[in-house]
Amino acid sequence: MNDHSAAHPRPGFRRRALLGAAMATAAAGALDWGVPAVAVADAATSTGIERFNAAIFARPERAAAPRFRWWWPDGLVQPDEIRREIDQIADAGFGGAEIAAVHHSVSDTSVLDTAKHGWGGAAWVAGVEAALSQAARRGITVDLTIGPSWPAAVPGITPDSDAAVKELAYGTVTLAAGSTWSGPVPAPVYAAASQVTEQHLLLVQAARVDTAHSTRKETGLDQDSVRDLTADVRDGTLNWTAPGDGTYVLISYWVRGSGQTPEAGPHTDPPAYVVDHFSAAGTRAVTDFWEAHILTPAVRRLLKVSGGALFEDSIELETDGLQWTPGLPEAFERHTGRSLLPLLPAVILGHSNQVFAFEAAATRQIRHDFWETVSGLFNEHHVTALRTWAHRLGLELRSQPYGLQTDAIASAALLDIPEGESLGFKNLDDYRCLAGGRDMAGHTVLSCEAGAYAGGAYSTTWQKFLRTMGGAYAAGVNQTVIHGFSYAELPGVKWPGYAAFTPYKGTAGYGESWGPRHATWKHVPDIAACLSRVHEVLRTGRPRADVAVFRQTGYSATGIGASWFTASGITSGWTHQFLSGPLLDLPSATVRRGRLAPGGPAYKALFVEGDFFYGSSITLALSDARALLRLARAGLPVVMLGAWDTVVPSGLPGTGEAEELRSVVGRLLAEPLVRQVSDKTAVPTALADLGVTPDVRYATSSTLLNFHRVADGVDYYYLCNGKHAETVKPAVAAIDHDVTLTRTTAGAVPYLLDPWSGRIERVGRYTEDDDTVTVRVALQPGQMRIVALGRPGLFGDRDGNRPHAVASEAEEVRFTGSGLTVRASASGTYRTVLSQGRTVTTTLRDVPAATEPTSWHLHVEDWRPGTTATGTTIVEHDLDLDALLPWSQIPELADVSGIGRYRTTVTLGEGWSGGHGAHLELGTVTDTCRVTVNGHRLDPVDQIHPVVDLGGLLKQGRNIIEIEVATPLANRLRTTDPTVYGTLTRAPYGLQGPVRLVPYGEDRIA
């Protein structure tokens, strides 16, 4: 080993100082440009909406509404059509759109003339101006992607430019003991991209093969044998004889552009190339292009009015080699106090695979240090720099900070709006990683690219979408960017219009292209309003999570969860988020009254385990160990899983660092609020011993998920019957059990906030015990519920301190306009125990039996291709049915998509009088629906559990019930475009039932 590669004492700054500096810079940017200063203060400053009331819940603010990813075929757009589509989005109740240049469905490149209609050109900029100006008129906002498609790229640079993305390629040759290599330096093992014309030799090394360190895919090397032969290279040739002590490899390292272009291009003329995400030059290329070509005076002015965020998609840098930037060696030495070059064999990649390895522990530590350095460069030169620039334009920075081996948790703390995705995230812990960064930094919004399904184009239902997103909201998501809304037109496309991702490689592509082209668009305002209310609640006040899980390597989009908490803790009510080392440097990382970040997520405990991304090794950075010790001494309970007396540094240690780390961890383990357990099954016992309990508790294992926020003494609980991952078997089943909720304010009572109707109702039956309230929760798979605990009368109710029920034989106890009321669907006598201790007996008489209407008239609007690609022709069908069947089983409707209106008549006899109401159970419906009774349209239907309360709308005699159902387009497209959609299975559309009218009797009891 050469002298310059020997271990040196670490510099006089912490391992994550580079990231800490990036966060400080981001905070300074926030102060400069008027973004809330929570990034530089305790999260108590402000983490959400403090103003929340019944009126806001009924009519949420536009800023809380869901948004669309709005796909344009680059600049081949017309301002008039852009303005029309902005109106469509606004009219349907959405809060805005993100302009994205995407056309994966266009295989004929002659359709798009990038010289005239490329991204960033005059036509595209004119479209942006039209979108921003119309959005300003309609009170919505427009986000702009950083470049065409993804990753970030701009025209005007070449693959050889300093600003272009780089790779480190390697060449190698094996030499037997004593043999000589005389010839050109080994060329890279794979060729450069076609447009790359330059490559520079960085280094040539020799190292002895040590099979003891080899793995199934990696050639083992003796680290002490690595020698630098670069000085021996003459005019591109090398003459070197291997020692006689074994087999050697020569390794050459070449720096060159990777030549990567954005997805599914070309999008520009000249072509855009992906920028270096780890250097100032790469980011400057982006901002310089925008300043010169996009930010016209009109665009700059409009961004201040209707601009929302600058957006960057996931960091999908693709190369056959190793991600590289010229400043990496210097940054590595600054960060670790040692040279990177002698360590390169342990990190070099070939076709995404590791090639060489040293001794296992050293290899792990080298790779950890390398990617930690890359993470710091990404956060400093890309995330922080872009955020500061975006703030100057009056924009926030929204980004998906994953795709590389970088600390996405730390990046989430830097971003104004971190974003995940329902397609790429394997489970809910991927969201919880980003939520930890958001909440520790004191930001409010966690966004999600929502509803992309492979092969789901024109067959995706809103019911599927809602089931997907229900769990994501329980993991901290509170902004939905729906994938997506396609610009309507493009030459040569078929009905129902241009769609960015379908056809995709000749078949049905990623779904969905929502908009007026869909029959369900008529009902979409109901869904938009529901999601707006969920967002509003989940942005109110401050988040609360029970436990912070410390993650030594802060990756996301991995599908890797936390021991015990993910598999078992969630099923009993526990909530958790993930933190990485840099977050422990934030101002919010203080402890008060046993809570970490008391003004923010207020974690009750910290859980530490081995590093899942490095074989669950018991590793820790010395700076992180010191931070954990500081927190434990300040009063934070800590549970440590594993043999922490054997801890080793996560990166290559400096002199004496390993010993000091063991000493610090020893002191940590000796703290009275620290528990060490050897098995994950002992985690709940350790937490109980520390006096740590969850805010939400279930008596039995449940698929119920929850998220908790607190504002002005009011607790808001979002509940959803879902699972940690959609792919987990068995499928989620209906639940019906008690749920115990912790209340912040003594005497707080529960309210049910219905996101579908916007109504708030005080809960009529519950029990309370000191600081908890227990309510009964019954939910179908994917169904959500919101419960608030606040003072009596909080939401304008007049029930004040009236008694409530603690137990009842009746099916329901509710506070109605007349007071506390019991309901049951059968005649009988029911006893109810009130909170005052009194038992009330109620007799309900003459409750009619449930009925199933058997006679229906169905009027169908059959949607078919019109005379243009975007035009729709409607053919009408009228049928009389004596049983409800899916359309696929009705010959006249087998291939129909569109809107069906079902009408039936229910005759109620003389026994129908005061004291009766009814629920209408719709059974199975595909897809969206609305209900009208006797000419009165009911509140929006819960599309996951379509049961509606008809209240007093029914009358003696004839009653007309109408159910309007809208479907996806796939059944029709199977016949009109069979080459693309013919392989789709015919779907069971329509109202399938069983539809039941279930009368109930009711009577006031208090």
Q: pLDDT tens, 531-589?
A: 999 999 999 999 999 999 999 999 999 999 999 999 999 999 999 999 999 999 999 99
| Distance from chain centroid for Cα 503 | 26
Stated pTM of the model: 0.95
What local confidence, expressed as pLDDT, does residue 391 receive? 98
Residue 574's closest CA among 713, 753, 468, 428? Answer: 428
Report the C-alpha gap between 272 and 70 in whole angstroms.
21
pLDDT of the residue at 48: 59
Dihedral angle, C-alpha 738, 741, 746, 747, nearest 10 °: -40
Question: What is the pLDDT, as a whole number, of residue 163?
Answer: 98
The rounded distance, in Å, linking the Cα atoms of 753 and 785 is 7
Contact call for residues 443 and 423 (beta carbons, < 8 A): no
Helix (H) or strand (E) holding 68, with range, is: strand 67-72
Question: Does residue 249 carry a pLDDT above 70?
Answer: yes
In this predicted structure, which of 48-62, 82-96, 960-974 has the lowest mean pLDDT?
A: 48-62
Return the pLDDT at 915: 81
pLDDT of 40 over the 70 cut = no
Per-residue pLDDT averaged across 58-83, rounded? 97
Distance between CA atoms of residues 915 and 190, nearest Å: 80
Q: Is 933 helix (H, G, I), strand (E, B) or coil?
A: strand
- Examine the pLDDT at 13 and tell me if it is beyond 90: no
pLDDT digits (tens, 9 = 90+) for 198-243: 999 999 999 999 999 999 999 999 999 999 999 999 999 999 999 9
Q: Is the dihedral of CA 362, 367, 370, 372 positive or negative?
A: negative
Per the listing, tokens 């004492």 go with: 9
List, in sequence order, every residue forming a beta bridge with 822; answer none if it has no partner. Answer: 813, 1003
Please check the confidence at residue 10 and state whether its pLDDT lies above 90.
no
Kindly state the percentage of the chain with pLDDT values over 70.
Answer: 95
Residue type at position 797:
D
Per-residue pLDDT, averaged over 591-606, amounts to: 98
Tokens, residue 682:
């002992």
Residue 9 has pLDDT above 80, yes or no: no
Instruction: Tell which residue, 668, 425, 404, 682, has the closest CA to residue 553.
Output: 404
* Beta carbons of 553 and 615 less than 8 angstroms apart: no
Q: What percent of the chain has pLDDT over 90?
A: 91
Residue 164 per-residue DSSP state: B
Residue entry with tokens 């009891």: 1005
Q: Is the pLDDT of residue 15 over 60?
A: no
- Name the residue among 371, 702, 678, 405 with its Cα closest to residue 555: 405
* Rounded-to-integer distance, Cα 802 and Cα 355, Å: 72
Q: Does the pLDDT at position 29 exceed 50? A: no
Q: Using CA atoms, how far apart are residues 533 and 651, in angstroms rounded to an integer?
A: 46
- Mean pLDDT over each residue of the chain, to the nearest integer: 93
Instruction: Give the separation between CA 383 and CA 341, rounded to whole angstroms.
Output: 26
d(CA 560, CA 556): 8
Give pLDDT, residue 50.
62
Task: Give pLDDT tens digits for 278-316.
Answer: 999 999 999 999 999 999 999 999 999 999 999 999 999
pLDDT in tens, 784-805: 999 999 999 999 887 677 899 9
Q: What is the pLDDT of residue 36?
A: 29
Cα–Cα dist 34/736, whole Å: 47
- CA proximity to 321, closest of 368, 257, 406: 257
Give the closest residue to 312 by CA, choosing from 380, 257, 262. Answer: 262
Contacts of residue 889, defined as CB under 8 A and 6 or more positions apart, other chains included, come to: 988
DSSP output for 664-725: HHHHHHTSTTEEEESSGGGHHHHHHHTT---SEEESS---EEEEEEEETTEEEEEEEE--S-
Query: What are 441's two structure tokens?
Result: 């930094």
d(CA 281, CA 272): 15
Strand-pairing partners, residue 141, are 96
pLDDT at 928 over 70: yes
The pLDDT assigned to 840 comes to 97
Structure tokens of 626? Answer: 């010191």
Q: How confident is the model at residue 49 (pLDDT cuts 50, 70, 90)?
A: low
Tokens of 924: 């199975």
Q: What is the mean pLDDT of residues 708-736?
A: 90
Using only C-alpha atoms, the chain has a radius of gyration, in whole angstroms, of 31
**The Cα angle at residue 16 between residues 34 and 312, in degrees rounded to 5:** 50
Ramachandran region, residue 782 (left: φ > 0; alpha: ψ -120 to 50; beta: rest): left
Q: Which residue has the tokens 């993930």?
A: 578
Cα separation, 661 vs 618, in Å, equals 12
* pLDDT-derived band at 931, boundaries 50, 70, 90: very high
Does the pLDDT value for residue 24 go beyond 90? no
- Residue 205 CB partners (closer than 8 Å, separation 6+): 226, 227, 228, 229, 250, 251, 253, 342, 344, 345
**How many secondary structure helices (H) and strands (E) does the chain include?**
19, 56
